[in-house]
């Protein structure tokens, strides 16, 4: 009885639903309201109504439509993150424009996004409901920072390493005409699009080849690769099956395909697979990291960034066991410290560092072998 009382009196997550469609507002309200840990405190059809309801209702999390009348979701988010930062889950359409606007929203500070529900596909609503509830709960625990107007002076591309990037693991220099001796593998989920931007934008043009698994829908991954290419000295592209992994290039897994690394003689290539999701994800970070452990051994470098869940933790553990150098984003700079925290708990991590220091740590002299089972920061 005492335990039941404790559960029933636990404070629920207060959510405000903002969408110009009455049907979508009703559906999201119904889905979220069915979870006992969530309370939908209100709904709004546009940004101006939402502004007033935020002040009156003080929600913990906002679901925000990308496209709304009077003021679009992006402008409203920009104002919100300057004046009253709070966790926001964007609700967007699976279109090229929807992808572009959503990725911009993530750069402005939105925690995550979910696609518009397919109201005419009732049989898919159960899976959609689970994803929506999971993302709202994760957002409620996220670390949200105020939006700062001035540009990050180190966020733009640079072909020259900073002082902390001047030294590299042996054999990692090269040009785009050569194959990559060492390869960097990066895995990320919630908050990862911005975290990946911060890493890639600090890497020099002659760094080892980079392969990336980010949990993202298929319609978004090409747009994401294009945005990363524009902010990095590296050449960034969506991975294609059989692509040669070269220094100075980064390859992002397509949103609905697994990405693996495969040795081909003295070369390494991207391999795309269509098997079932692993850890409920395709691409799976675990699958990418496991292929790195198998194919590269000590020539692999693994990085696990912000994200909910534990995808990638066991794969990173295998990489480290096979001699790879492994890094995790620290808790303070992670939006959600689920995946990095799981990797640290498994003893899969050599170093735990803030996001702004990961690029320098990747390119610094590799530390001496450490005792397995303890991470250092």
Within 10 angstroms of residue 192's Cβ, the number of other Cβ atoms is: 30
Residue 252 has pLDDT above 80, yes or no: yes
Q: What is the longest distance spanned by two Cα atoms in the chain?
A: 69
Q: How confident is the model at residue 304 (pLDDT cuts 50, 70, 90)?
A: very high
Q: Which of 215, 258, 284, 350 is catalytic?
A: 215
Query: Would residue 215 show up in a list of annotated catalytic residues for this protein?
Result: yes
The Cα 129–Cα 136 span in angstroms is 11
> Taking the alpha carbons of 117, 278, 306, 130 in that order, is the dihedral positive or negative?
positive
Query: Would residue 60 show up in a list of annotated catalytic residues for this protein?
Result: no
pTM of this structure? 0.85
* DSSP three-state, residue 338: helix
* DSSP three-state, residue 337: strand
Residue 157: per-residue pLDDT: 36
Residue 119: per-residue pLDDT: 63
The candidate with the shortest Cα–Cα distance to 109, out of 80, 72, 71, is: 80
pLDDT digits (tens, 9 = 90+) for 158-176: 333 333 333 333 333 344 4
Where do we find the tokens 């699958």?
287
Residue 179: per-residue pLDDT: 61
Q: Which of 180, 189, 291, 334 is catalytic?
A: 189
pLDDT digits (tens, 9 = 90+) for 174-211: 444 456 689 999 999 999 999 999 999 999 999 999 99
CA dihedral 172, 174, 180, 186 (to 10 degrees): 60
**DSSP for 124-146, written as a single string:** GHHHHHHHHHHHHHHHHT----P
pLDDT digits (tens, 9 = 90+) for 14-46: 999 999 999 999 999 999 999 999 999 999 999
Query: Would residue 274 show up in a list of annotated catalytic residues for this protein?
Result: no
Residue 152 has pLDDT above 50, yes or no: no
Query: Cis link prior to 9 (omega < 30° from 0)?
Result: no
- Rounded mean pLDDT, 68-96: 90
Q: Which of 46, 311, 330, 350 is catalytic?
A: 311
């Amino acid at each position: 009885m005492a335990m039941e009382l404790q559960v029933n009196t636990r404070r629920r997550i207060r959510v405000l639903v903002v969408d110009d469609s009455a049907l979508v507002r009703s559906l999201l309200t119904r889905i979220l309201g069915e979870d006992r840990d969530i309370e939908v405190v209100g709904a709004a059809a546009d940004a101006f109504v939402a502004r007033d309801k935020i002040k009156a209702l003080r929600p913990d999390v906002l679901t925000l439509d990308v496209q709304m009348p009077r003021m679009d979701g992006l402008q409203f988010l920009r104002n919100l993150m300057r004046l009253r930062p709070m966790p926001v889950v964007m609700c967007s359409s699976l279109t090229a424009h929807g992808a572009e606007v959503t990725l911009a929203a993530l750069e402005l500070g939105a925690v995550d996004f979910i696609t518009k529900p397919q109201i005419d596909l009732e049989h898919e609503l159960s899976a959609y409901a689970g994803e929506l509830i999971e993302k709202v709960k994760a957002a409620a625990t996220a670390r949200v920072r105020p939006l700062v107007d001035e540009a990050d002076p180190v966020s733009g591309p640079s072909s020259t390493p900073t002082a902390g990037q001047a030294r590299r693991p042996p054999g990692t220099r090269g040009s785009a005409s050569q194959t990559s001796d060492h390869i960097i593998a990066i895995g990320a989920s919630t908050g990862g699009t911005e975290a990946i931007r911060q890493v890639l934008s600090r890497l020099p043009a002659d760094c080892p080849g980079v392969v990336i698994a980010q949990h993202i829908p298929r319609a978004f991954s090409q747009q994401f690769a294009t945005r990363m290419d524009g902010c990095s000295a590296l050449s960034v592209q969506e991975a294609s099956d059989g692509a040669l992994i070269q220094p100075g290039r980064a390859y992002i897994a397509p949103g609905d395909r697994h990405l693996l690394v495969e040795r081909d003689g003295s070369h390494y290539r991207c391999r795309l697979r269509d098997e079932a999701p692993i850890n409920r994800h395709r691409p799976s970070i675990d699958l990418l990291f496991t292929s790195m452990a198998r194919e590269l051994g000590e020539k692999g470098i693994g990085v696990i960034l912000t994200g909910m869940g534990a995808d990638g933790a066991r794969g990173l553990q295998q990489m480290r066991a096979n001699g790879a150098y492994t890094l995790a984003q620290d808790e303070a700079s992670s939006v959600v410290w689920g995946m990095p925290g799981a990797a640290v708990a498994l003893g899969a991590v050599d170093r735990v560092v803030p996001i702004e220091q990961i690029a320098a740590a990747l390119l610094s002299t590799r530390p001496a072998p450490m005792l397995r089972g303890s991470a250092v920061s």
